[in-house]
């Protein structure tokens, strides 16, 4: 099972890579390393619609795309805005409790052998140790070899360091940052810097076999070299 602290994932990507357009499905495939997936649990806090309407709209679009990933469960908490907003940033409420509850519940129910946690909060150290004491293995994915929590590194059975090399192939835009849609003269939105999409059929379409220029009515002996004006035998097609 994979447990993802969405807020930690978002801010780590933004601060380290200056982009957040991660494909959660591809990211989890990298974490699994061809092992069997039981389920993905993704946790995040909902942005206030009144306080941050633009950010709320983008977040809802992202959540809708995440919900399409097979075998993924989304757990949503909320952001608490104080009376000093926007001078004081909001704080999450309920995320760590939900994640810890799911991690321990599935451990005691023996629903997984290995749990992979994507988080950087040291509050999870106790839950990780409890899972290990119950007989399962714990892996923790951290951003950067030097920026991750030392306590998490010490308690985990295995650390997965998330760097640019690890994330290669996990971005939605194939290495290019997402840009806001631009208005063309006709008033329609168009996406800049978006790679051209090809259908799988075109990408994997076999080349047409080379036509044999030797006709069935050609009476020239098989080992006789071609004379002037006659086509040469084509070389065998290259395998690709």
pLDDT at position 173 is 76
Q: What is the domain-level CATH number for residue 37?
A: 3.40.50.1010
Whether 51 is in a domain gets the answer: yes
Nearest to 46 by CA among 12, 90, 86: 90
Domain count, the chain: 1
| Under 8 Å between Cβ of 113 and 136 | yes
Is 127:152 a contact under the CB 8 Å cutoff?
A: no
Query: Is 221 inside a domain boundary?
Result: no
Does a structural domain hold residue 220? no
**Which residues of the chain register pLDDT less than 70?**
145-148, 174-240
- Tell me, what's the pLDDT at 230? 53
Distance CA 127, CA 43 (A): 16
Domain annotation covers residue 194: no
pTM of the model: 0.71
Residue 190 is assigned to a structural domain of this protein: no
Rg of the chain over all Cα atoms, to the nearest angstrom = 27
Supply the range of the domain harboring residue 25.
2-173
């Amino acid at each position: 099972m994979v447990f993802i602290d969405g807020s930690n994932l978002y801010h780590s990507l933004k601060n380290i890579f200056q982009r957040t357009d991660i494909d959660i499905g591809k990211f989890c495939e990298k974490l699994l390393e061809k092992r069997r997936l039981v389920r993905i649990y993704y946790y995040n806090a909902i942005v206030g619609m009144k306080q941050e309407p633009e950010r709320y709209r983008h977040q809802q679009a992202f959540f809708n795309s995440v919900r399409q990933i097979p075998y993924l469960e989304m757990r949503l908490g909320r952001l608490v805005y104080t009376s000093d907003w926007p001078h004081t940033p909001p704080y999450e409420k309920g995320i760590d409790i939900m994640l810890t509850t799911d991690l321990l519940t599935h451990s005691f129910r023996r629903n997984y052998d290995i749990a992979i946690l994507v988080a950087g909060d040291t509050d999870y150290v106790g839950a990780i140790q409890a899972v290990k004491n119950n007989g399962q293995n714990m892996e923790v994915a951290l951003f950067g070899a030097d920026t991750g929590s030392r306590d998490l590194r010490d308690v985990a059975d295995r650390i997965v360091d998330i760097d640019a090399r690890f994330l290669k192939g996990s971005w939605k835009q194939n290495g290019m940052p997402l840009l806001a849609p631009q208005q063309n003269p006709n008033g329609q939105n168009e996406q800049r810097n978006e790679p051209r999409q090809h259908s799988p059929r075109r990408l994997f379409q076999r080349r047409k076999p080379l036509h044999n220029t030797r006709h069935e009515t050609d009476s020239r002996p098989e080992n006789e070299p071609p004379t002037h004006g006659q086509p040469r035998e084509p070389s065998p097609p290259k395998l690709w």
